[in-house]
Structure 1
Amino acid sequence: MSVLKMTVVMIYMAIIVVIVILSGRNTKTYRDFAVGGGKLPWYIIGGTIFSSFVGGGTMVAYVGNFYSNGMIWIWTPVICSVVGIIYIFISPRIYRIQVMSIGDILMARYGENTKRVGAFLIMIWEFLITASMISAFAAMTSSFIGMNKEISMVIAAVLFALTAMLGGFKGVAITDAIQGCVIFIGLILGTLVLGSKAGGFGQVIASAGAKANPFDTSSLAGLMMLGIVISNFGFHIANQSGYIQRINSGKTAKESQKGILLYTILLTIGFGICVPMIGLSGISLLQGDIAGDQVIGTLLDQFMPAGLALLYAAAIISAVLTSANSSLLSASMCFTQDFYYGIFKKDADDKKLIVVSKVFIILGAALSYIIAKFAPSIISLLLIVYTLGSAVAVPMIVGLFWKRPGASAGFWSIVFGGASIIIWQILGQPFGIHIALVGIPVAVIVYVVLAFVGKEATEEQKKLVDNIKKKE
């Protein structure tokens, strides 16, 4: 194990913890803890969304997927950029509702039962995201630093819990924005250095051969890739920690909109250009069969100058940390607001809510560690996560535009969509059909059918949609 690498990484993590604590030290109310009190400027919003979405799955797992499967994976960043563009236009609607969570949106539009089932699914996928980030952290530190994988996973879980618990949303958001700069610089430098080592852009593409073709299905079936793209779309549309919390943390609707625009630009460059180039560069540089999760660590160790390799390692730690602590905060908000406060303790004050949220963060980090310990790979976790998000996306987004669907449409769409996803995954995705190609059609069909044969939305629920439209 390199003592220098270990020392630098530990110092960097310690600095991050200190910044988080200092940034979140003025948190006094539960709204401050959950969404920063709605006072953040656009550049903080853009930076925190970017660093939350460009996490360990992007910088570790997706680099490995471009290496293993080629440019067919480009459709993943493409669809993420498309979702960013969509949110530039619909974010004012979300902001005008002035809620803290997706559960609040589902509550206002469909009622208590839909809110709870949606919040429950969100908690599940936030735990899975945190678990995937623990795996990503361990994969990077074991391959690049040489740290024992089990120790790395424990450190990751503790670090994620500390930053989420001590900083709250404001501390996490400000730290995320700072780390977003590290992530972006790391991706740019990593692309330039590794691309140059591989012989330049032309040589990288030539060495990739058929894998340079975004429509090549020799290493990954087209039907499976279509499912991955659809699930990515649904998950990012219904992402609470990435979009909903960030939108409602802005000073104004315009500030949130500008922040999303900044994020979309950074994402398109970082995820749509840099990550694919790094992955394809690995085809030229690496010899032998290397597991996808180990690709980036091996590239850094063998082909990057020591200083730049440490910077990129810091960028990966930043990416992993920002995704994980955002997810833990999101899951804690679902439990605290949608279950604890919403059902059991409706008279709880801010102090009590913050304490409950912090305790849940610790429990969530422990559960995520257990999931990561037994999960087969980072990407397998992310595929399930993304598709579960899609089941919630259908009633959440459509309900902002279509007045007719009532409580039964929203509730059963999530229930049947989520259940079909889990069942299809347990069955092993028969016939090579991705879970998204089963779960999302089920959610849509149930929603549309019950919109017409079930009870219509109440007048108050219809008025909510009308009021949003009037303020456009």
Structure 2
Amino acid sequence: MELEWIDWLSVALFFIISLAIGVWFARSAGKSAKDFFLSGRNMPWWLLGISMVATTFSADTPNLVTEIVRKDGVAGNWTWWAFLLTGMLTVFIYAALWRKSEVVTDLEFYELRYSGKAAAFLRAFRAVYLGVFFNVMIMATVCLAAAKMGNVLLGLTKGETLIIAGVVTVVYSSLGGLKGVLVTDFIQFIVAMVGSVWAAMIILDLPEVGGLSNMISSPALSGKLDFIPDPTDLNVFVPLFLIPIAVQWWNVWYPGAEPGGGGYIVQRMLSAKDENNAVGATLFFNITHYALRPWPWILIGLASLLVYPDLASLQSAFPNVDKSIIGHDLAYPAMLTYLPHGLLGVVVASLIAAFMSTISTHLNWGSSYVVYDFYQRFIKPEAEEKELVLVGRISTVVLMVLAMLFALVLESALEAFQILLTIGAGTGLIFILRWFWWRINAWSEITGMIVSFLVAIYFNVIHEEFFPDLEAYQVLLISIAITTIAWLTVTFLTRPTDEEKLLNFVKKINPGGIGWKRIYQKISLEKGVKSQPGEMYNKSKIPLGLAGMLTGTFSVYSALFAVGYWLYGEVYLASLMTAISIVSFVIMFRIWGALRKVYISER
């Protein structure tokens, strides 16, 4: 596939605009480390929300969704759709708590919530573990997708694609800081959405596909269109739907969908003007991410089954493509080769935008861990702001190089996704409970982190010799059980966090909930407390937050299904889902209004 001058013009303009934004914000980002990593904590909800969506619209996401659809049909997407539950939990309960914490990174939370050397160790270790190791692995999956697209669409090798895209991304990320990333994300999201929707429309009209209605009625897609798997077929229903919706969302740590929030999602919330903007940004992200954005990818994935029904047809169509990257996820870039020139340039630019928005966010986020939670906290506490910015820019470059090197050994986006799920299995409950149960301590998190990692290593490297027939969902359940038992046992065998630390935490955050009852009672006995903790406890936001989470989840899933049914041409079901979604949204926003009054009363 060769791009013509009009295609290259679109790509060149996008690169120039991205670099210009980085240069424009370089001076303001370089004032201080907080400006570089948090944009001065004055960002509006809409810009932060769009940035969250743009970040999760990575170059590997269309490939991942396409692979899921080709293997397990539309219903296979519950492996990530289920994370809407934890997303809505973050919206209505955790977003305001994070903003009130006033930490610079989510790892700083450890020394706000826990005490002693264990808290310091946890912060330092996770700065390297998440900011470098885990972060590099995530970026490598995005780099892998970019390499596959570059190979199919442009005829570039893995190395050539990664060097070109990586250099531009690392330049504007290291110059403009978070503010540069946010503004670039805004432009990249518009380009990426226009490109994916436009591409889907053109591909559906291909002679091999025959239009949307013809594709939907094709026998080749039999069983692939259902939103929920057949409950009578337990071999499909359990792994594709029941496990994700019943267990995975609350007990698995995955970047961007952490139970209780974390990583770059928290970074965006901490950059918000106030609690209300933090909640609004996260709500906008979840609605857009789950209800609207998946459908262009799903439609292209379904269309690819008519054009390339198996891997052999893909290999035959692209004989010059590196055999090591031939997989179902290659079908997405393969379908894009049918686009006409002009549009092809826009779509290529949109894919570059998706790559750059995700990588730039992960670079800035990972660098913030290295700078604040490792270098300044443990290496050089007296470091001046300009030095911290310099360390941030250097670490940004190093992280990019490591990600590109690791991408060379990966083969599949789904493979990497499942590895990440296994590594985080069993730790999600800790991140939910640590805000609402005084007994969780630093050793709980250390144990969960170490055990989940060792279990993941076992199941990804060793277990086939002893248990060759285990399914992926069985591995996940076993991993969750082992990790949960381990960290709960250690929690009760170790000393709790120092009481003074717990008292200060509750006074600052006022999380509410029965898990803090004894701490609230102690606070109420102290003199000089303006707001009586008995009142604070009784005004707990948890019931309202849970109601918002449930109605929000219901409204977004209804909207997701409504869009799908309209596309399928099933008017009755589409109208019903639309009506349910509208009613649910109205109730949800009323609950949000009640929560806003609580936030205002606490200031």
TM-score, scaled relative to structure 2: 0.72
CA distance in 1, matches of 2:273, 2:406: 37
Aligned partner (choices 391, 401, 404) of residue 366 of structure 1: 401
**1:28-73 Cα deviation digits (max 9, x unpaired):** 1101111222111111101100011121221223223323432232
**Corresponding residue for 1:211?**
224
Secondary structure of the corresponding residue to residue 28 of structure 2:
coil
Aligned partner (choices 302, 306, 310) of residue 284 of structure 1: 306
Aligned partner (choices 193, 202, 205) of residue 184 of structure 1: 193
Contact 2:67–2:414, Cα closer than 8 Å, also in 1: no
Shift of 1:394: 3.5
Secondary structure of the corresponding residue to residue 27 of structure 2:
coil
Shift of 1:241: 4.0
Aligned partner (choices 93, 106, 109) of residue 105 of structure 1: 109
Contact 2:68–2:77, Cα closer than 8 Å, also in 1: no
More moved, 30-39 vs 69-78:
69-78
Shift of 1:249: 0.6
Change (3 A) 1:13 1:387: farther
Change (3 A) 1:7 1:157: same
CA distance in 2, matches of 1:169, 1:83: 25
Contact 2:433–2:440, Cα closer than 8 Å, also in 1: no
Change (3 A) 1:83 1:54: farther
**Corresponding residue for 2:434?**
399
Contact 1:403–1:465, Cα closer than 8 Å, also in 2: no
CA distance in 1, matches of 2:163, 2:143: 8
**1:389-421 Cα deviation digits (max 9, x unpaired):** 456544333201111122222221222122222
Secondary structure of the corresponding residue to residue 224 of structure 2:
helix
Secondary structure of the corresponding residue to residue 100 of structure 1:
coil
Shift of 1:255: 0.9
Aligned partner (choices 271, 274, 284) of residue 262 of structure 1: 284
CA distance in 2, matches of 1:97, 1:148: 46
Shift of 1:428: 5.7
**1:65-96 Cα deviation digits (max 9, x unpaired):** 32343223220342233333222112001111
Aligned partner (choices 335, 338, 344) of residue 309 of structure 1: 344
**Corresponding residue for 1:73?**
76
The answer to whether residue 27 in structure 2 is matched with residue 25 in structure 1 is yes
The one-letter code sitting in structure 1 at the alignment partner of 2:113 is: R
Identity %: 20
**1:151-190 Cα deviation digits (max 9, x unpaired):** 1122233233223211111110111122112222223323
CA distance in 1, matches of 2:491, 2:442: 9
Aligned partner (choices 420, 429, 449) of residue 489 of structure 2: 449
The one-letter code sitting in structure 2 at the alignment partner of 1:13 is: F
Contact 1:12–1:314, Cα closer than 8 Å, also in 2: yes
**1:238-263 Cα deviation digits (max 9, x unpaired):** 66443110000111111111111211
More moved, 211-220 vs 340-349:
211-220
Change (3 A) 1:333 1:231: farther
CA distance in 1, matches of 2:450, 2:157: 40
Secondary structure of the corresponding residue to residue 8 of structure 1:
helix
Secondary structure of the corresponding residue to residue 440 of structure 2:
coil
The one-letter code sitting in structure 1 at the alignment partner of 2:418 is: L
CA distance in 1, matches of 2:71, 2:444: 41
CA distance in 1, matches of 2:237, 2:123: 36
Secondary structure of the corresponding residue to residue 402 of structure 1:
coil
Q: Any unmatched runs of 5+ in structure 1?
A: none
CA distance in 1, matches of 2:74, 2:463: 25
The one-letter code sitting in structure 1 at the alignment partner of 2:510 is: I
> Higher helix fraction: Structure 1 or Structure 2?
1
More moved, 395-404 vs 215-224:
215-224
Contact 1:106–1:118, Cα closer than 8 Å, also in 2: no
Change (3 A) 1:51 1:64: same
Change (3 A) 1:142 1:428: farther
**1:286-341 Cα deviation digits (max 9, x unpaired):** 35523323212221112x33333322222221111111111111211111111111
CA distance in 2, matches of 1:219, 1:58: 26
**Corresponding residue for 1:432?**
471
Aligned partner (choices 149, 167, 171) of residue 162 of structure 1: 171
Shift of 1:226: 6.7
The one-letter code sitting in structure 2 at the alignment partner of 1:364 is: L
Shift of 1:370: 1.0
**Corresponding residue for 2:127?**
119
**Corresponding residue for 1:47?**
50
More moved, 343-352 vs 381-390:
381-390
Contact 1:60–1:296, Cα closer than 8 Å, also in 2: yes
Q: CA RMSD in A?
A: 2.7
Which structure carries more relative contact order (alpha carbon 8 Å, separation 6+)? 1
CA distance in 1, matches of 2:381, 2:146: 38
Secondary structure of the corresponding residue to residue 163 of structure 2:
helix
Contact 2:456–2:479, Cα closer than 8 Å, also in 1: yes
Aligned partner (choices 311, 332, 341) of residue 367 of structure 2: 332
Contact 1:24–1:169, Cα closer than 8 Å, also in 2: no
Contact 1:142–1:149, Cα closer than 8 Å, also in 2: yes
Larger Rg: 2
Contact 1:405–1:447, Cα closer than 8 Å, also in 2: no
CA distance in 2, matches of 1:328, 1:101: 14
Shift of 1:372: 0.5
Shift of 1:225: 7.5
Contact 2:200–2:300, Cα closer than 8 Å, also in 1: yes
Contact 1:9–1:314, Cα closer than 8 Å, also in 2: yes
Change (3 A) 1:285 1:392: same
CA distance in 2, matches of 1:133, 1:154: 14
CA distance in 2, matches of 1:176, 1:260: 15
Q: Any unmatched runs of 5+ in structure 2?
A: 315-326, 512-535, 537-597
Shift of 1:9: 2.1
**1:330-360 Cα deviation digits (max 9, x unpaired):** 2111111111111111111111111111111
The one-letter code sitting in structure 1 at the alignment partner of 2:217 is: A
Secondary structure of the corresponding residue to residue 83 of structure 2:
helix
Contact 2:76–2:240, Cα closer than 8 Å, also in 1: no
CA distance in 2, matches of 1:222, 1:176: 37
Contact 1:49–1:243, Cα closer than 8 Å, also in 2: yes
The one-letter code sitting in structure 2 at the alignment partner of 1:158 is: V
TM-score, scaled relative to structure 1: 0.91
**Corresponding residue for 1:199?**
210
More moved, 226-235 vs 131-140:
226-235
Aligned partner (choices 12, 16, 19) of residue 18 of structure 2: 16
